[in-house]
Amino acid sequence: MTAPVAITPAILKAVPLFSSFSDEQTSLLASCVQHRRYSKGAAILRAGEETEALYIIMSGRVKVLIPDEEGREVILTMLGPQDFFGEMGLLDELPSSATVETLEACDTLRIPRTAFLTCLEGNAELAMLVLRNLVKRLRDADRKIESLALIDVYGRVARLIIDMAENIDGQWVVKRAPAKQEIARMIGASREMVSRVVKDLQEKNLIHTDKRKIIVLDHQSMAQRGSV
């Protein structure tokens, strides 16, 4: 964490969450927003602790996870620039149910509880953005529950790859896949199992891997395996 940097209204206007704000609202907000920088591997939030602020990621990536006693963890999601977190604790006053850990150095904006709640009440557009964001996360969570309850590890790996892939001129590619260890934590499996499944998917010519890149050769069959 380095010394705080001044937050200008211009910076805030560039944040999707605040794009609907008037000039007054923005400058009012600017006075209480803080800049915070975290180094790689730092915990911004810890499960069980009170949440005192909303965090918006300006640069870098984080993982949201639930840890258990023996050091195992399940990764709920990964977030990057423009994403935000911490609003759940602000809305229901309960301690955070997850830990947020940086995957690389991160710049964040930190909006204290009251400032955020005031903004929320005064700005229906903000409320709608937050609402829609929660809906998206709830859908993702439900889908994860479906995967865990109804699909085997093979299917879960296939589904994750499909979900992460983006279509680059007709070809489905995961540009930078997480380490297999991380994949394992994302789908509730052991890293050894993920290793074996990926090997198998390659041997069956469903995917091709090259370092951290995964090319989906047979999207159809992959989707098949990853469906309930």
Token readout for 162 is 């499909």
**Residue from 40, 136, 204, 213 in contact with its own copies (CB under 8 A):** 136
Alpha-carbon span 5 to 101, nearest angstrom: 22
Nearer CB in complex with its own copies: 36/73 = 73
Site string for DNA, 132-161 (x = CB under 7 A): --------------------xxx-------
Residue 24: count of CB within 10 angstroms of its CB: 9
The answer to the question of residue 219 lying near DNA (CB under 7 A) is: no
| Positions in 34-73 near DNA (CB under 7 A) | 40
Alpha-carbon span 82 to 17, nearest angstrom: 8
CB of residue 148 vs DNA: minimum separation in angstroms?
Answer: 10
Instruction: List, edge to edge, every strand of the sheet that includes 207-210.
Output: 166-168, 171-174, 213-216, 207-210
Helix, strand, coil percent values for the chain (each to nearest 5): 45, 25, 30
Residue 215: count of CB within 10 angstroms of its CB: 14
**Residue from 199, 205, 208, 227 in contact with DNA (CB under 7 A):** 199
The answer to the question of residue 5 lying near its own copies (CB under 8 A) is: no
Alpha-carbon span 161 to 143, nearest angstrom: 14
Residue 203: count of CB within 10 angstroms of its CB: 8
Only segment of 19-27, 115-123, 125-133, 180-188 that touches DNA (CB under 7 A): 180-188
- Which chain residues interact with DNA by CB under 7 A? 40, 152-154, 179-181, 188-193, 195-196, 198-199, 211-212
- Which chain residues interact with its own copies by CB under 8 A? 66-69, 72, 74, 76, 87-88, 91-92, 94, 97-98, 120-121, 124, 127-128, 130-132, 134-139, 141-146, 148-150, 188, 227-228
